[in-house]
Structure 1
């Protein structure tokens, strides 16, 4: 009797197979349910996303094109401003160069004329204006000299005669130095040759003697 009772309590192999099959089916159904739910969620999300009408798509395209055109305009505007500034600078430099050329075009000619002025002044220094026989020569040479100086001044050529003035190394060239009683140091005590300027530019320094 004991043996029969034990066999009755144990599940048969067929029952175990059926139970396993049931478990597998249940899991499959659960997985399928999750897949279906996920698919339905995706479809719902796609359905919720609004679709644009042709007019709206056209407007969006035009807005993008407008933004791109505005960016291009901003870039071109900056380039134009830079180009205009460069042109203005070039025009200003050109005007300065032209003005400088006009002012100093006669520099070489003026320097050559200064030699004539120097010779006339030396000639006058050798003529005795008080002597009756030399008075006419003195007046003639002096008139020629004054006329030449006047002509040079019309073209902005001016003399530098620094007698008794402080020595200026930018305008004067010291040929020698001499100690003179009662005269302050660095004072021009003699002018050996006048200097000249053309429109404010030094074209020849004055050769001078300076006190110690």
Structure 2
């Protein structure tokens, strides 16, 4: 009977040790893989949650934007409507003050059409209506611009001609051809005026030119 080989038990033990080491290595390698998969799943879940939250926030912001646009449009329409109402009210007040002027003017015209109309009386009536009209306009901030003898002001006056004058200084208004008007300090129509060019220059023979 052959003797037992003492090296066999040692070899078998070594093989078993190698198998155990290999299994441990595989187990060790398997653990990080599972952890990585779990981490990837967690990251994907977080990204999905963040995406849902971002979409919800974007939707809420869009709703706020649309409400702001609607509010702005409503404000614009309300402002236009209120402006039109104020203009109508202001115009109505002016017209209310002008109605008596129209009444008196109609009476003056009716009087002028009579066969025996008195011109002097008619003139007095027209002057009264004119004064009444100026008073009505003045109540609403309208003022005459009648700068006779004043320095020429290009911001309020329109020079239609220049004439020499021995009594009015140069660049001063000699007379007003068409009265100007302002409304609460704002120019409505410039006064058309004749401007002095100063004393007439003498001609070579000594006579005024």
Scaled by the length of structure 1, the TM-score of the pair is 0.47
Using structure 2 for the length normalisation, give the TM-score: 0.48
Bigger proportion of residues as helix: 1
